[in-house]
Structure 1
Amino acid sequence: MQRWLKGALILPDRVVPNGLLACEDGRITGVWDLEADAGAPAVPDGAEVVERGYIAPGYIDIHVHGGGGGDFMDADPEAVVAITTCHARHGTTGLLATTLTAPEEELIRAFRAVKAAPRRGAQILGFHVEGPFINMQYKGAQNPAYVRSASVAEIDRWLAEGRPDDRWHVTLAPEIEGALEAIRHLAGRGAVVSAGHTDCTYDQLKAGVEAGVSHVTHLFNAMRGLHHREPGTVGGALSLPGVTVEIIADGVHVHPASMQVAVRARGAENVLLVTDAMRAAGLGDGEFTLGGLPVTVKDGAARLHSGALAGSVLTMERGVQNLVDMVGLDLPTAVAMASLHPARRLGLEARKGSLAVGKDADLLILDDKLEVMTTIIGGEVFYDAR
């Protein structure tokens, strides 16, 4: 099916106020600036015209545990569909199914439930295994009963559950027993290895980067902070070459000024927006669980009964709004942090992440407040608020 959209196009470096986009058979077939491109076609009859708002690439969330009442650790195909449909309504067209620290058999069941689930809503691009190879001191909302040393043998059993095109992303603490061997093994298998839930010093993170760490999970949260004589995990994340970072831009996990520091120090092209959403995303306040632990959601914050943060109820839609309204980023930069940069981090830049010919027709129509009006996945309308 051929589809035409006319309106303001959000590109990685600018907004084209008067643009035209064509897609067919699930791919973008044309992108034009109607005011600058001499060869732009006439707007065809039947084109959808976005008069107030924007046309944007679909968002990609590399760190999301749940939403719509489901959690990937439920190991239930119906829960998987609840998550992918919930987040698609809020602009996510691709995501990594993210697990928590748990017994190996529970992780395997979660991977298998994802594979068995009907394909509906946001596309599952692979897996993010957050834990169990973390530092107990910075466990956050991870269940301490299942924290353990890194194991290459266990990693290979995880990877054997994947599909050929799955992307793998593993969060671990570089300083724990067996971590450096695991990092080298994962990097050699093409996985993104991320430092998180860690007490690693600057030198330990540097050693991890030399072994294959290339990312840092939810920067500033659940890690050793910055000190002027010991830069710690945060200092290394902001300065070591070749490292990308992710930020939970809900205004609860990280102060807006700290987000500005990260963007200025690391460069926006190396900062990814994530939600770290748990099952309560999209549902409002109430009592929930995360990794078997009780969680209270109140006023937009999810916390264990100890008061520790337990993931978030953020959506990518709200995260982009916050990057613009709270952090002061321009619209193309904020959208790229939710689309192009995650696509590049996953090695999917040729297919996803921006409005360009040949890429998947994963598109959003946003109103002038950046709320999602329409989500298009593979050229087909999945959600339309209108």
Structure 2
Amino acid sequence: MRAIINSKIILEDEVLEDSVIVYNDKIVDIVKSNEFENVKVDSIIDAKGNYVSAGFIDLHIHGSGGYDTMDATKEALNTISKTIIQNGVTSYLPTTMSMSKSDIKNALDNIRNTKITGGAKSVGVHLEGPFINPKYKGAQNEKYIINPDYEFIKNYLDIIRIITFAPEKDENFEFINKVKQHKNVVLSMGHTDATFEQAIEAIQNGVTYVTHAFNAMTGLHHRNPGVIGALFANDIYCELIADTIHVHKGIFQSFIDMNKKEKVILITDSMRAGCMKCGEYELGGQRVIVDEISARLEDNTLAGSILKLNDAVKNIRDNTKYKINDIINMVTVNPARAIGLYDEIGSIEKGKAADLVIFDENIKILTTIINGDTLYEVI
């Protein structure tokens, strides 16, 4: 067994001090410091007064470290996994995008068949596209966009955790009705031109999630509340890209207040240029220009992000009044609950995977532990 001492332990509802985490591949216990002398362990990590939380979970990430999910290679997934642990991510959903059916199937097959070692765990797939609305395609390639097609993805529903789609393109909600029979799959509105009424009806029929709120969807207007209005009117999960570019920092507080802190999930939507230098990259076969803060197509459309998940946490911490445990829940508890994995990951509790991160007051990641193994450490 191993232990982490001298830390501030972030739990769902509180921050513990003067306690020790004992773990092997799973969390064994949390004991008071004055009781730890009676616990026999093989090694100790001294957190030196820094924070410890459950490992971060990114439910929407296309790539990082120069690779993309759509590269459909084992090298790509392993590099992404090994890159994002430096941002505190211990579990993630490799995310696809609108490309040819064969390209998408190749990516899905690769995710299913790749055994990741030494990096963040792939816990399924986020299928973003091709079932979206061309009007709000964002950086998705319009020539590959199609209407929701259950037959196309039915053989992959064992690994798909989230499907982003435009509900107004789903005639008579046939797609929703078929997919919702698979309890492990989350139906999410995104890249959509749905009206408030259409969005409400989609939620009533089985949609429980909204992809990167505000971006690539009908906005909030006092006469036409759109998808955002429907989100505020219902108790469903939603993603937020808190890079201060996709969504202005001035709205972070009110958005989380309106949508409930228990339902907001911070994601990166990072593309292959994440953790890389500025320059020219590729996304879905399209040229992307990356500077110090953003990734954009040649027509200036935002093309995903280069956000790191720990920076998203910092941006919310710096621009809202929420407590640190409430914010950490947005990258741990909330995403784990949203995709039905809260019994396994997402919080520091006995019996859960020992996925842990140590970070300082600036949310700089110092140590990342996955299944009890220290995979990243700042010396």
TM-score normalised by the chain length of structure 1: 0.93
- 2:170/2:176 contact within 8 Å kept: no
1:195 corresponds to: 189
Q: Which amino acid aligns with 2:147?
A: S
- Measured in 2, the distance between the counterparts of 1:380 and 1:374 equals 10
2:8 is the counterpart of 1:14: no
Q: Write the deviation string for residues 362-382 of structure 1: whole angstroms up to 9, x where unpaired.
A: 001112321111110000011
2:63 corresponds to: 66
What is the SS of the residue equivalent to 2:95?
A: strand
What is the SS of the residue equivalent to 2:343?
A: coil
- 1:27/1:359 contact within 8 Å kept: yes
Q: Which amino acid aligns with 1:222?
A: A
What is the SS of the residue equivalent to 2:30?
A: strand
- Measured in 1, the distance between the counterparts of 2:315 and 2:139 equals 24
Higher mean C-alpha displacement, 322-331 vs 139-148: 322-331
- Measured in 1, the distance between the counterparts of 2:39 and 2:245 equals 44
Matches within 5 A, 1:103-252: 103-120=100-117, 121-159=119-157, 162=158, 166-178=159-171, 180-190=173-183, 191-241=185-235, 243-252=236-245
What is the SS of the residue equivalent to 2:47?
A: strand
- Measured in 2, the distance between the counterparts of 1:30 and 1:314 equals 33
Which residues of structure 1 form unaligned runs of 5+?
none
How far residue 16 of structure 1 moved from its aligned partner, in angstroms, is 1.1
Shift in CA distance, 207/372, structure 1 to aligned 2, threshold 3 Å: same
The correspondence for 2:370, drawn from 370, 373, 377, is 377
What is the SS of the residue equivalent to 1:56?
A: strand
How far residue 117 of structure 1 moved from its aligned partner, in angstroms, is 2.7
Matches within 5 A, 1:32-71: 32-34=31-33, 42=38, 46-71=43-68
2:332 is the counterpart of 1:333: no
Bigger fraction of residues in strand: 1
1:31 corresponds to: 30
Q: Write the deviation string for residues 137-171 of structure 1: whole angstroms up to 9, x where unpaired.
A: 10000000101111121121433xx4xxx352100
2:82 corresponds to: 85
- 1:100/1:132 contact within 8 Å kept: yes
- 1:364/1:372 contact within 8 Å kept: yes
Q: Which amino acid aligns with 2:8?
A: A
- Measured in 2, the distance between the counterparts of 1:179 and 1:148 equals 16
Identity percentage over the alignment? 36
- 1:97/1:127 contact within 8 Å kept: yes
- 2:190/2:210 contact within 8 Å kept: yes
- Measured in 2, the distance between the counterparts of 1:27 and 1:177 equals 42
Q: Which amino acid aligns with 2:229?
A: G
Query: How many residue pairs get matched?
Result: 375
- Measured in 2, the distance between the counterparts of 1:58 and 1:253 equals 24
- 1:285/1:300 contact within 8 Å kept: no
What is the SS of the residue equivalent to 2:174?
A: helix
Q: Write the deviation string for residues 271-321 of structure 1: whole angstroms up to 9, x where unpaired.
A: 001000000000031110111111111121011111110000111111111
- Measured in 1, the distance between the counterparts of 2:82 and 2:102 equals 26
The correspondence for 1:268, drawn from 232, 243, 261, is 261
Aligned CA RMSD, in angstroms, stands at 1.6
How far residue 211 of structure 1 moved from its aligned partner, in angstroms, is 1.4
- Measured in 1, the distance between the counterparts of 2:361 and 2:125 equals 33
Q: Which amino acid aligns with 2:202?
A: G
- Measured in 1, the distance between the counterparts of 2:77 and 2:206 equals 30
How far residue 184 of structure 1 moved from its aligned partner, in angstroms, is 1.7
1:100 corresponds to: 97
How far residue 179 of structure 1 moved from its aligned partner, in angstroms, is 7.1
2:253 is the counterpart of 1:255: no
- 2:253/2:319 contact within 8 Å kept: no
- Measured in 2, the distance between the counterparts of 1:337 and 1:119 equals 25
Q: Which amino acid aligns with 2:231?
A: A
How far residue 115 of structure 1 moved from its aligned partner, in angstroms, is 2.7
Which residues of structure 2 form unaligned runs of 5+?
none
Q: Write the deviation string for residues 34-84 of structure 1: whole angstroms up to 9, x where unpaired.
A: 48xxx6665767532211311111000110000000000011111111111
How far residue 328 of structure 1 moved from its aligned partner, in angstroms, is 3.8
How far residue 350 of structure 1 moved from its aligned partner, in angstroms, is 1.0
What is the SS of the residue equivalent to 1:269?
A: coil
- 2:189/2:207 contact within 8 Å kept: yes
- Measured in 1, the distance between the counterparts of 2:99 and 2:51 equals 41
Q: Which amino acid aligns with 1:217?
A: T
- Measured in 2, the distance between the counterparts of 1:50 and 1:343 equals 25
